[in-house]
Chains A and B, each alone.
Chain A
């Protein structure tokens, strides 16, 4: 910028400074009210009666069992969905077949189904009144109002996360590297472990991260299938609802704070991945 025009000159593709700062101000204000305020509210309410009350409320038996249940559900649902995501991405990107677009639409379907409707579907499929569910209950394997139903509902909701992250990455990477490995005599599994997996590991981690956050926090679908039995089928989000409805505000918000910390850690890791491995992620390398 030349000295003669300092302070007056501005690029033709920029807004006036005043407009710029007004827009930035609006963005900060909007996100402050919409996003930061609820975040602060969770911790403020949790600590309303001090640290000790908050921590103590997490120590009781029902809270402990809720935390254990949520961890167990994530430990089952997330690896299964990751395995599905890898298999689906392999099938879709390494082979050419008719109806591929339709298959992708079907995989994406859970994103556009309401969680409550998802739960309803599982109840109708496996509930005591249904053909399959009735038979399973008669043989001592209840699905609905028990762990398998909650896992199924969680898997339904988080079904597309890993596949959706892997497919664009694997499309872009093409098949040449795998073909080279196969030509050199590697077996299929060896090709997968030494060629494909290293190429997709960050995208896989990214998908698993988002899948896990959603799995641990799912409420609507789980609320329908869990039966909300305290100490048995009450996950952390369900326990939050029960405590809140009993006006146990500190206990409800303390458990909410634990899930909020999980969400913040997820965002932190996600941002770190986006900064360090941007070239290997689908979401930061669109088009």
Chain B
């Protein structure tokens, strides 16, 4: 027998809570996204392809995705290390370090953007150090890379931390009793347990980085084909009132984020089957 759409319940407020939820969800999120898709549909798949299939746009999409991938990879390693240190070790200042991990979530992206640019510009404290060895960071792809690391930093740490907290010491003791070195235990016992959560964090960090705008545009330099990110292209098209082209690029980016979202869900299904939590 098919289950009813909504089960009968003695709880009050069904109409009100459902009404508010669906109305606001539609008005704020679904209708605007629908407007974008509608614009794309009326523009036509062929036209979208023609708009997107240009060297400058491919370069921007590829740059955004590639640098986001590497930044998320950095965060995967550093974020896992951070989660381990914050949960397992006790040292002065641990609380501050733990709170500091969330700063990229709390700091407005435009603020992060100009602050990073001030640091890594050729006359900034870090930029001048790098310039001494002939390394230019701000206004190159390195600058974008650093900004993307900044915005994605908290994701891996925050997804891995609860998993580290739940690891039972007995597992590690068993491994040690069986003669494994500490490094061997970490690599073969602990790391596989952390992997699903870490990969989820990686995907979240990647999704955030691909769409990031505020913290990147100041440090990027925004040179077409070299340091131009995909979201900037949308802004440029909109400033020229070229709504069709903006919608075409927007749909391409929407598809990328949906693909990443799908991967996140697949990772979670896979890890639930394999380990039983996360």
A interface vs B, CB < 8 Å? 12-16, 19-20, 23-24, 26-28, 30-31, 33-39, 41-42, 45, 80, 83-84, 87-88, 90-92, 94-98, 103, 106-107, 109-118, 120-125, 127, 129-130, 152, 155-156, 159, 175, 178-179, 182, 187-188, 191-192, 210, 213-214, 216-220, 223-224, 236-238, 240-241, 244, 252-253, 256, 259-260, 263-264, 266-268, 270-271, 283, 286-287
Q: A27, B100: Cβ atoms under 8 Å? A: no
Min distance, Cβ B208 to any Cβ of chain A, angstroms: 8
- Chain A residues whose CB sits within 8 angstroms of the CB of B153 once the complex forms: 34-35
- Chain A residues whose CB sits within 8 angstroms of the CB of B32 once the complex forms: 118, 121-122, 124-125, 152, 156
Min distance, Cβ B248 to any Cβ of chain A, angstroms: 11
- Interface SS of chain B: helix
Q: B36, A120: Cβ atoms under 8 Å? A: yes
Q: Which residues 113-146 in B have Cβ within 8 Å of A in the complex?
A: 114-116, 118-119, 124-126
Min distance, Cβ A244 to any Cβ of chain B, angstroms: 5
Min distance, Cβ A235 to any Cβ of chain B, angstroms: 10
Tell yes or no: B33 within 8 A of A by CB.
yes
Q: B111, A259: Cβ atoms under 8 Å? A: yes
Q: A116 and B211 in contact (CB under 8 A), knowing A41-B119, A91-B21, A130-B35?
A: yes
Min distance, Cβ B241 to any Cβ of chain A, angstroms: 8
Q: A87 and B114 in contact (CB under 8 A), knowing A97-B5, A115-B213, A210-B105?
A: no
Min distance, Cβ A14 to any Cβ of chain B, angstroms: 8
Tell yes or no: B54 within 8 A of A by CB.
no
Shortest Cβ distance from B180 into A: residue: A12
Tell yes or no: B156 within 8 A of A by CB.
no
Q: B234, A84: Cβ atoms under 8 Å? A: no
Among A12, A39, A179, point to the contact of B176 (Cβ < 8 A). A12
What 0/1 pattern do residues 99 to 116 of B give for CB contact below 8 A with A? 111111111111110111
Among A117, A187, A224, point to the contact of B254 (Cβ < 8 A). A117
- Chain A residues whose CB sits within 8 angstroms of the CB of B119 once the complex forms: 37-38, 41
Q: B169, A287: Cβ atoms under 8 Å? A: no
Give CA–CA (A130, B210) in the complex, Å.
28
Shortest Cβ distance from A16 into B: residue: B182
What 0/1 pattern do residues 10 to 52 of B give for CB contact below 8 A with A? 1111101110110011001111111110110000000000000
- Chain B residues whose CB sits within 8 angstroms of the CB of A191 once the complex forms: 12
Q: B102, A187: Cβ atoms under 8 Å? A: no
Q: B238, A123: Cβ atoms under 8 Å? A: yes
Q: A87 and B35 in contact (CB under 8 A), knowing A31-B101, A94-B9, A286-B162?
A: no
Q: A124, B35: Cβ atoms under 8 Å? A: yes
List the 9 closest A-B pairs by CB distance, nearest first: A114-B211, A217-B108, A188-B12, A12-B176, A121-B32, A219-B214, A87-B20, A220-B213, A125-B35
Give CA–CA (A112, B218) in the complex, Å.
22
Q: A27 and B107 in contact (CB under 8 A), knowing A91-B18, A95-B14, A220-B213?
A: no
- Chain A residues whose CB sits within 8 angstroms of the CB of B102 once the complex forms: 267, 270
**Interface residue tally on B, bucketed by range:** 35 or more
A-B contact pairs, 21 of them (CB 8 A): A24-B85, A26-B81, A30-B82, A35-B103, A38-B119, A88-B17, A95-B6, A96-B6, A97-B5, A106-B30, A112-B258, A125-B32, A159-B28, A216-B108, A240-B114, A253-B114, A256-B108, A259-B107, A264-B106, A270-B106, A271-B99
Tell yes or no: B246 within 8 A of A by CB.
yes
Given A95-B7, A270-B102, 6 additional A-B pairs, CB 8 A: A35-B100, A35-B101, A106-B25, A129-B243, A159-B25, A178-B11
Tell yes or no: B198 within 8 A of A by CB.
no
Shortest Cβ distance from A23 into B: residue: B85
Q: A237, B211: Cβ atoms under 8 Å? A: no
Q: A117 and B250 in contact (CB under 8 A), knowing A16-B182, A34-B153?
A: yes
User: Of residues A14, A31, A179, A216, which shows the largest number of chain B Cβ atoms within 10 Å of its Cβ?
Assistant: A31
- Chain A residues whose CB sits within 8 angstroms of the CB of B112 once the complex forms: 38
Q: B150, A38: Cβ atoms under 8 Å? A: yes
Q: A113 and B257 in contact (CB under 8 A), knowing A12-B172, A15-B182, A94-B11?
A: yes
Q: B7, A155: Cβ atoms under 8 Å? A: no
Give CA–CA (A114, B251) in the complex, Å.
11
Q: A116 and B234 in contact (CB under 8 A), knowing A35-B100, A87-B21?
A: yes
Among B85, B110, B150, B234, point to the contact of A27 (Cβ < 8 A). B85
Min distance, Cβ A16 to any Cβ of chain B, angstroms: 7
Min distance, Cβ B19 to any Cβ of chain A, angstroms: 8
Q: B250, A219: Cβ atoms under 8 Å? A: no
Q: A38, B115: Cβ atoms under 8 Å? A: yes
Q: Which residues 56-110 in B have Cβ within 8 Å of A in the complex?
A: 78, 81-82, 84-86, 89, 91, 93, 95, 97-110
- Chain A residues whose CB sits within 8 angstroms of the CB of B81 once the complex forms: 23, 26-27
- Chain A residues whose CB sits within 8 angstroms of the CB of B14 once the complex forms: 91, 95
Q: A90, B169: Cβ atoms under 8 Å? A: no
Among B39, B211, B232, point to the contact of A113 (Cβ < 8 A). B211
